[in-house]
Amino acid sequence: MTSANLPPVTSHDGATNFADLGLIAPITNRLTEMDYKTPTPIQAKAIPSVIAGKDLLAGANTGSGKTATFVLPILQKIHQAQQSAKKDKGNFVSALVLVPTRELAKQVADSVKSYAVYFNGAIKSTAVFGGVSANTQMLALRGGTDVLVATPGRLIDLISSNAIKLDRVETLVLDEADRMLSLGFTEELSALLALMPQKKQTLLFSATFPEEVRSLTDNLLINPVELQLQSADASTLVQRVFTVNRDKKTALLAELIKQNKWRQALIFVNAKNSCKHLADKLSKRGITAEVFHGDKGQGARNRVLDGFKAGEIEVLIATDIAARGLDIEKLPVVINFDLPRSPADYMHRIGRSGRAGEVGLALSLIAHADYHHFSIIEKKNKIRLERETFVGFEPDEEMPDDEYAVEKPMAKPAGTGKKKKKKQAPVNVDIWAGIGNNDSDNENSSTDDSTKEDDFQ
Ligand code: AMP
């Protein structure tokens, strides 16, 4: 982890440094070493409340420093408890962080370890998630752990094997909380909550909190501090949308990749088999791409993600399993080849770029059949983007005859048809320069057209 160009902060009673937020030396020293100069807005606003033991409902842009916001006070609390009391003997957990995907579990656990360096091994942290041996994780949990980062399914398995107990959980964090509270996870989450003490501190973090989810948070939180720091203005991410005929999407994508010579590009599609399909098509156009989805083995997933993070893989085609939380340093561009079905997932996908104050770019390629859906995504996310076209790939004004023959509505009587759209001026391709080169599972779902990919396990 390295420092980035995050905006300076003078909020929270003028606190401009981490010590002013109430953090202790082993933590602030580590942050100095990591070249974190000032707290980010979410850190400045939330850390004092979390230290004070309050429940929290925090919405903040992705890449805005959420992980440190919960990890730092948790480390401090555990350290202080260790000073004043003997450690519980047994396989207990003090702070539990639940996340929707394996990669996020690993990433958060790595952050915990990194922030905890100056506690000199006194604070134990462990990650448990599916796709890898449960035995190794059982061994790692022997004698308990202070901070446990977990995907729900594997955690439930480990609890049923008596590898870990939740009855002493003092802090519960739901990272990507809207996802954790959404339908797919309800059973697992209820089962886990039933095993935890009623009295505990609960912290919910997400970049998006759709209305439906807000009602569910009431049962989890007691007098929470509510922070909504999402702001389009503060975002360093440029969003653009290109209209194109469906049968020209791959060619446009290939053209964009070639022209812009992005150091890396993350491309989202909606189905696991579309990953390979698109990779094959790009390969025919001379572009090598790797794929990342929930049907790949965990070893392969790790290799691909590590390779992408290290910049060894330049083009990655992924399902929504890569949409949340992943911190890929200075990722220049995210491309929606397929639009996500949920407006919230749009925000999470594009949030892989433009993180931590870096310049980023999010492109969506939309064919006629996507126009309406994209308008809904815009409306729900309170954004409005200019429709652009790319020279040589301008879409037909009307949906081409052979496109979506089945879905096409019946023709209206003459004279009542839809108005012809005014043709947009094609953009000058030069405006890409500079941005592109900027240096600066649900695995339970067996259907391949699932857009919701999380790791219960
Ligand atoms: P997160 O939103 O927690 O995934 O963090 C996004 C990125 O910002 C990570 O690479 C962090 O290491 C980095 N980061 C978090 N807080 C700060 C800070 N106060 N100053 C500089 N970088 C930070």
* Position 289 pLDDT exceeds 70: yes
Q: Is 63 in the pocket of ligand 1 (CB under 6 A)?
A: yes
Ligand 1 midpoint to CA 201 (Å): 23
Q: What are phi and psi of 145, to 5 degrees?
A: -150, 150
Q: What percent of the chain has pLDDT over 90?
A: 58
The verdict on residue 431 lying in a domain is no
- 312 and 202 share one domain: no
* pLDDT (0 to 100) of residue 250: 97
* Position 3 pLDDT exceeds 80: no
Ligand 1 midpoint to CA 198 (Å): 31
* pLDDT (0 to 100) of residue 208: 74
- 200 and 288 share one domain: no
Ligand 1 midpoint to CA 93 (Å): 25
Ligand 1 midpoint to CA 13 (Å): 22
The residue among 228, 247, 271 that closes a domain is: 228
As a whole number, the mean pLDDT across the chain is: 83
User: Which of 32, 67, 69, 236 to mutate to test ligand 1, by most ligand atoms within 8 A of the CB atom?
Assistant: 67
Q: Is 3 in the pocket of ligand 1 (CB under 6 A)?
A: yes
Cβ neighbours for 194, distance < 8 A, ≥ 6 positions apart: none
* Position 416 pLDDT exceeds 50: no
- 32 and 137 share one domain: yes
Mean pLDDT of 217-227: 90
Ligand 1 atom nearest the C-alpha of 43 is 19
| pLDDT band at residue 61 under the 50/70/90 scheme | confident
* Position 328 pLDDT exceeds 70: yes
Structure tokens at 409: 């509505």
Ligand 1 midpoint to CA 197 (Å): 31
Rounded CA-CA distance 339/353 in Å is 16
| pLDDT band at residue 218 under the 50/70/90 scheme | confident
User: Residue 402 sits in which domain range?
Assistant: 237-406
Ligand 1 midpoint to CA 27 (Å): 14
* pLDDT (0 to 100) of residue 287: 93
* Position 338 pLDDT exceeds 80: yes
Structure tokens at 17: 């440094």
- 209 and 260 share one domain: no
- 195 and 267 share one domain: no
* pLDDT (0 to 100) of residue 398: 75
Decide if 314 contacts 262 (C-beta within 8 A).
yes
Determine whether 377 is exposed, middle or buried from the number of CB atoms within 10 Å of its CB (0-12, 13-18, 19+). Answer: buried
- 71 and 175 share one domain: yes
Ligand 1 atom nearest the C-alpha of 39 is 19
Query: Exposure pattern of 52-87 as b/e (b: 16+ CB <10 Å)?
Result: eebbbbbbbbbbbbbbbbbbbbbbbbbbeeeeeeee
Strand order of the β-sheet with 360-366 is: 290-292, 315-318, 265-268, 333-336, 360-366, 237-243, 387-388
* Position 211 pLDDT exceeds 90: no
- 187 and 271 share one domain: no
Decide if 173 contacts 203 (C-beta within 8 A).
yes
Ligand 1 atom nearest the C-alpha of 18 is 19
Ligand 1 atom nearest the C-alpha of 69 is 3
Ligand 1 atom nearest the C-alpha of 37 is 20
Say which amino acid occupies 67: T
Mean pLDDT of 416-422: 43
Ligand 1 midpoint to CA 35 (Å): 10
The verdict on residue 121 lying in a domain is yes
Mean pLDDT of 102-125: 95
- 273 and 191 share one domain: no
Rounded CA-CA distance 333/323 in Å is 13
The verdict on residue 199 lying in a domain is yes
* pLDDT (0 to 100) of residue 452: 53
Please give the biggest Cα pair distance in the chain: 83
- 172 and 269 share one domain: no
Helix (H, G, I), strand (E, B) or coil at 263: coil
259-270: per-residue pLDDT in tens? Answer: 998 989 999 999
- 211 and 115 share one domain: yes
The verdict on residue 372 lying in a domain is yes
Q: Is 122 in the pocket of ligand 1 (CB under 6 A)?
A: no
- 223 and 255 share one domain: no
The verdict on residue 271 lying in a domain is yes
Ligand 1 midpoint to CA 65 (Å): 4
390-415: per-residue pLDDT in tens? Answer: 999 999 877 766 555 444 444 444 44
The verdict on residue 419 lying in a domain is no
The residue among 185, 209, 228 that closes a domain is: 228
User: Which of 5, 176, 230, 355 to mutate to test ligand 1, by most ligand atoms within 8 A of the CB atom?
Assistant: 355
Q: Is 357 in the pocket of ligand 1 (CB under 6 A)?
A: no
What is the domain count for the chain?
2
Structure tokens at 446: 């067996």
Nearest to 451 by CA among 319, 363, 355, 327: 319
Angle between helical axes of 41-51 and 66-84 (0-180°, round to 10):
30
User: Which of 327, 330, 347, 358 to mutate to test ligand 1, by most ligand atoms within 8 A of the CB atom?
Assistant: 327
Beta-sheet strands, E only, within 248-353: 265-268, 290-292, 315-318, 333-336
The verdict on residue 436 lying in a domain is no
- The residue whose CA is least distant from atom 12 of ligand 1 is 1
* pLDDT (0 to 100) of residue 454: 63
Q: Is 92 in the pocket of ligand 1 (CB under 6 A)?
A: no
* pLDDT (0 to 100) of residue 359: 79
What does the chain come to in residues?
Answer: 457
| pLDDT band at residue 417 under the 50/70/90 scheme | very low
Terminal Cα distance for the chain, rounded: 26
Structure tokens at 257: 């990749």
Least confident of 12-16, 46-50, 104-108, 232-236: 12-16
Mean pLDDT of 338-353: 90
158-197: per-residue pLDDT in tens? Answer: 999 999 999 999 999 999 888 888 766 788 899 999 999 9
- 281 and 180 share one domain: no
The CATH number of the domain holding residue 169 is 3.40.50.300
Q: Is 354 in the pocket of ligand 1 (CB under 6 A)?
A: no
The verdict on residue 418 lying in a domain is no
Place of tokens 């009542």: 416
- The residue whose CA is least distant from atom 15 of ligand 1 is 65
